[in-house]
Amino acid sequence: MPTQRKQVLVFRELPPAQLDRIARAHDVTVADPRQPGQRAAFDAALPTAQGMIGASFPIDEAVLARAPQLSVVSSISVGVDNYALAEMHRRGILLCHTPGVLTETTADTIFALVMATSRRLVELANLVRDGGWTRNIGEDLFGSDVHGKTIGIVGFGRIGQAVARRAALGFGMPVLYHARRPAEAPELDGHARQASLEQLLAESDIVVVTLPLSDATRGLMGAREFGLMKPGAIFINGARGAIVQEAALLDALDRGTLKAAGLDVFATEPLPFDSPLRTHPRVTALPHIGSATHETRQAMAALATTSLLQALAGERPAAVYDTGSASA
């Protein structure tokens, strides 16, 4: 028996093929509240919305309070820090997300930042572009090796392990990781060792954060943690900006404690024009592109759409986030 048509609010642009899949079965309103002129349509759709799909906009308690019919939100992201998890759990609203399909792409981005910061790729490419390559470069512009260096990975879920595979199996790097439990990753046996956060910070040449953002991880990297890092170490954040105290990071860079930072994520996004991180000579900043390839964004949209349709049909979607979990 066909499912009864429901009201779906799409709050971020979806590829046409996915929008069509939803529209064949349900009544759709497309309104991205971040786009000029669309906020009113978003607000107007909330009271009747039964399903929502989108990303990059906080679905907080105030938004949920105006959506009394809501039974499922499908996020086109793996991170769920934009959602009022406890309130969704209390109301029994399903939260779907997109684990798995973006793992390798996000690890590629993080590893690109490892390479870019260590070998000063952006700075040196700009030297060529700006006509500054007029003689052989000297030691002042040399980078540092990546292969063989110790990499410390804070958070060892799917993405952390994918970074570890690249580092250990591709670049011969010893891996330290900080996680609640020992990893079940046989391919990394003999290459990766669990460590306390303090030990990891003290021993790693390159520290990479891949943790989800939660109350437990917000502001985790502050002055104490940067102070524990090896002098001249490199810091990479491919997770969420709010895990890092940005003033403490800048201080560590300015004092020379850290050699460089590679950042794909920031406390405020898009990065404010006046942020010192935007122009800092030893920061490589990317506009949150962890999963931003054609292939992966298509796969994320398809998975989020499938989950939404399953939930609206009364089936249990494969990629449901446990809003009642401890990390919630």
> Taking every pair of C-alpha atoms in the chain, what is the biggest distance, in angstroms?
74
The only residue of 77, 150, 257, 296 in contact with ligand DGY, by rule CB under 6 A? 77
CB of 73 to ligand DGY, least distance (A): 14
Does the annotation count 203 as an active-site position?
no
- Per DSSP, helices labelled H in 204-279 are 223-228, 246-254, 276-279
How many residues touch ligand DGY under the rule CB under 6 A: the total is 7
Cβ proximity to ligand DGY: between 262 and 290 the closer is: 290
Q: Which residues contact 318 (CB under 8 A, 6 or more apart)?
A: 306, 307, 310
Q: Which residue minimizes CB distance to ligand DGY? A: 79
Cα–Cα distance for residue pair 264/239, rounded to 1 Å: 8
Alpha-carbon 221 to chain mean position = 16
Of 3-11, 75-83, 194-202, 221-229: span binding ligand DGY (CB under 6 A): 75-83
Q: How far is the CB of 290 from ligand DGY (least distance, A)?
A: 5
* Number of CB atoms found within 10 A of residue 92's CB: 9
CA distances from 310 to 20, 115, 139, 284 (A): 15, 41, 58, 41
How far is the first Cα of the chain from the last one, in angstroms, to the nearest whole number?
36
296: helix, coil or strand?
helix
Q: Going by DSSP bridges, is the β-strand pair 72-75/175-178 parallel, antiparallel, or unpaired?
A: unpaired
Write out the binding residues for ligand DGY, residues 280-319 only, by CB under 6 A.
290-291
Compute the least distance from the CB of residue 291 to ligand DGY, in Å: 5
- Span interacting with ligand DGY, options 74-82, 120-128, 269-277, 304-312, rule CB under 6 A: 74-82
Structure tokens at 309: 């349709």
CB of 303 to ligand DGY, least distance (A): 11
Of the listed pieces 8-16, 41-49, 72-80, 141-149, which binds ligand DGY according to CB under 6 A? 72-80
Kindly name the residue from 187, 198, 269, 315 that is annotated as catalytic. 269
Q: Which member of 33, 51, 54, 79 binds ligand DGY (CB under 6 A)?
A: 79
Minimum CB separation from ligand DGY for residue 77, in Å?
3
Binds ligand DGY by CB under 6 A, chosen from 22, 28, 64, 102: 102
Asked about 269 being catalytic, the answer comes back as yes
Distance CA 24, CA 49 (A): 17
Q: Which stretch in 2-10, 23-31, 71-79, 86-94 sits in contact with ligand DGY by CB under 6 A?
A: 71-79
Q: Is 74:53 a contact under the CB 8 Å cutoff? A: yes
- Residue 244 CA to residue 224 CA, distance in Å, equals 12
Token pair recorded at residue 27: 């009544």
Separation between Cα atoms, residue 328 and residue 313, nearest integer Å: 26
Residue 241 contacts ligand DGY per CB under 6 A: no
Least distance in Å: CB of 258 to ligand DGY? 23
Peptide bond into 270 cis (omega under 30): yes
Tell me, yes or no, if 240 is annotated catalytic. Answer: yes
Q: Which of 84, 201 has the CB closer to ligand DGY?
A: 84
Q: Which residues are catalytic?
A: 240, 269, 288
Per CB under 6 A, residues contacting ligand DGY are 55, 77-79, 102, 290-291
